[in-house]
Amino acid sequence: MPGPPPELRRGRKLNNRATGERGEKLARRFLEDRGYAIVDQNYRTRRGELDLIVSKDGTLVIVEVKLRRGTGFGEPLEAVTPRKQQAIRSMAEEYLLEKAPDFHTLRFDAIGILLLAGKPRITHVQDAF
């Protein structure tokens, strides 16, 4: 017997990563359709990762993306806790020091994606924190 496909054999960690990548892809497309330019993505620091860095009209936007497959653990945006917000701010400081991007204004947005049967429900909160 050949067994289950490799992505199912490797356990929960890979599934979480694949889910995160899917959410970021949906968020990227959503933002690009609204005129945002992708500056960077998946910027890693020792504290974690910034999902998306985009820009529009001189504003650099750090975007946290949360995807959920249901509401059993709450809505996706409920996962952007004050602790997570502080970590994102710290990572953003590192990003700005290292990359020195050109911008006039900095903003932190959050995108929540709820995947239920059918089309994903995307909620974009500008200036979320």
d(CA 124, CA 126): 6
> CA angle at residue 122 from 75 to 10, to 5 degrees?
70
* Structure token pair of residue 102: 């050109």
pLDDT digits (tens, 9 = 90+) for 83-102: 999 999 999 999 999 999 99
In a domain, 114, yes or no: yes
Domain total of the chain: 1
Q: Which domain holds residue 35?
A: 6-125
* Mean per-residue pLDDT over the chain, rounded: 90
Q: Considering the entire predicted model, what is its pTM?
A: 0.85
Fill in the DSSP letter of residue 43: E
In a domain, 96, yes or no: yes
In a domain, 1, yes or no: no
Residue 9 has pLDDT above 60, yes or no: no
At 42, which CATH number?
A: 3.40.1350.10
Residue type, 88: I
